[in-house]
Structure 1
């Protein structure tokens, strides 16, 4: 959690503050939380750091917490599992793709503590980008609200090509991952990074990997790390 949201949560208890606490998307995770964690670790250790990332109003769900194991998600999964050709005896595979290389003990232990809840706004933001096919800031669904936040009636696009060309990057993605990037998404991202320094960009594609193989597979260290 970022510094700003921790302060709100600790000092205010009213309804407005609860909503403010969950008023964020993955953009704030990158702009607020990540620098705060980086600064704290660097100040404590003084060491060079590497960042490894996996995955990230209204509506009926409201502008607050989205609980992965909550009743709304349970109803959604029940509807999906009622469809033909959907085998829900392995629910994680249905959601994230058929993993290839994870021991059952690793899977059971990990999901005793995950997935954690997120904000409803974050879920909506992700859905907006999926529907439009663009990587853009959160769309408030109203021109006046967008103008208030961005100075224009539409939500601005992120310019991925502005990433400094000499920053070392490694992208890993799997052919069986049904939760986040698919192969075409990654190709689109890499096309936007075509001017990046070639010796600073490494791409690792694993055809048999699903979403959770990257962090739980027994062979992930040898297959992904360089």
Structure 2
């Protein structure tokens, strides 16, 4: 999660002939001859978000007045809607769903490169960046999902989340059980409840160097963390097209996501990582680090100001037994971010067993294999689509 941003600084501009390098989500979708729409929405606290929509696939059309079931895809930390369309069309989840007859909506959380607007605040103001994943759960999901339902004239939709995209719906449903009426089914890829067993570079940074995040807050302020800029693009070009340093690029990916993937198409990494880092807030990064240290799924820890925010000394803990949506879990044995121990020891026991409809433990899957793995279309996406088709 945290250093998805840093890995992209080093990875995404390796020499490659793919024309999609540098394309944004709408351009990629259009490049492959799919229809695309960009739909803005304003949250209750004034953030302007942009969603991307594929209303139908290449193999089908509007088919008259047929109403297509809505599937909403939500990205992880420092990521964007592009996660779901950067694999080739016969492999990317967004395209596969569209071709299967679904109306595909892809969210973009506040602060990423597609969602930096606000009705009052400027993106360069510190006040703009006073958010973590909790505000994404509280405000962003409400705005995006309700807008998708409003435009399609439907009452509920299917939700697929990856990484941070799972924690924001888990906590949304835990704190607002009534929101469950808008979600038909929840497919959680690399699901996150706690990050107690966070491994690799991220685990070391979160536990051993937490003072770095405190420094960022006190001296830099809660502001933007590694946005997608021309500078980051140039760093990627310099480091990853150099024959001496390019191996560092490969290795850093696996230091973050898990042991070296045996199913990643390395030649398409520049396409996969064009939008990464997509940008988030330092407060969001600090919140993730707090959870690694506390080993709990809890609200942001304001320290001595917790009483002011919560009326108690410690941050409130989320009760996942309140989640009341049919849930399908997909997790990997080599995922260092959504660690299998965290899924098995915390997430699964915390959920009401009646709502857990399927648990799929995938072998040789690291954190990014769920969105970029060559086996994911067959081993994950096919099962999701079959479940959706059986109900449609």
TM bracket (short chain): 0.7 to 0.9
Looking at structure 2, the residues matched to 5 and 65 of structure 1 have their Cα atoms a distance apart, in angstroms, of 17
The answer to whether the 8 Å contact 1:88/1:94 transfers is: no
What's 2:277 paired with?
115
TM-score for both structures, normalised by structure 2: 0.47
- 5 Å-filtered alignment, 1:148-163, equals 148-163=308-323
- 1:197 corresponds to which residue? 354
Which residue of 92, 100, 103 corresponds with 2:262? 100
Q: How big is the shift at 1:62? A: 2.2
1:224 pairs with 2:380? yes
Q: Which residue of structure 2 lines up, in the alignment, with residue 214 of structure 1?
A: 370
**Superposed, which structure 2 residues align to 1:40-189 within 5 Å?**
40-47=147-154, 48-56=156-164, 58-67=217-226, 88-90=248-250, 91-97=252-258, 98-142=260-304, 145-164=305-324, 167-178=325-336, 180-187=337-344, 188-189=346-347
What displacement does 1:68 show?
6.1
> How well do the aligned residues superpose, as a CA RMSD in angstroms?
2.5
Distance in 1 (CA, whole Å) between partners of 2:316 and 2:291 is 12
Partners in 2 of 1:155 and 1:223 — Cα distance?
A: 38
Aligned-partner SS, 1:204: strand
More strand by share: 2
Tell me the alpha carbon deviations over residues 180-226 of structure 1, each in whole angstroms, 9 at most, x when there is no partner: 22111001111112x3216x421111120111110112221221232
Q: Output one character per residue of 1:141-185: Cα deviation in whole Å (capped at 9) or x when no partner.
A: 21xx11111111211111111112xx210111111112x221110
**Counterparts in 2 of 1:105 and 1:39: CA distance versus 1, 3 Å:** farther
Q: List alignment gaps of at least 5 residues for structure 2.
A: 1-40, 49-116, 165-213, 232-246, 384-392
| 1:32 has 2:139 as partner | yes
In structure 1, how many angstroms separate the alpha carbons of the residues matched to 2:46 and 2:257? 29
Shift of 1:139: 0.3
For residues 161 and 100 of structure 1, the distance between their equivalents in structure 2, rounded to whole angstroms, comes to 36
- The separation in 2 between residues aligned to 1:12 and 1:134, in whole angstroms, is 32
Q: Deviations over 1:91-149 (max 9, x none)?
A: 2122112222121243220111113111111111111111111111000121xx11111
Displacement of 1:42 in angstroms is 1.1
Which residue of structure 1 lines up, in the alignment, with residue 126 of structure 2?
Answer: 19
Number of aligned residues: 202
1:100/1:13 Cα in 2 relative to 1: closer, same or farther (>3 Å)? same
Query: Counterparts of 2:123 and 2:274 in 1: how far apart (Å)?
Result: 31
Contact 2:338 2:367 in 1 (8 A): no
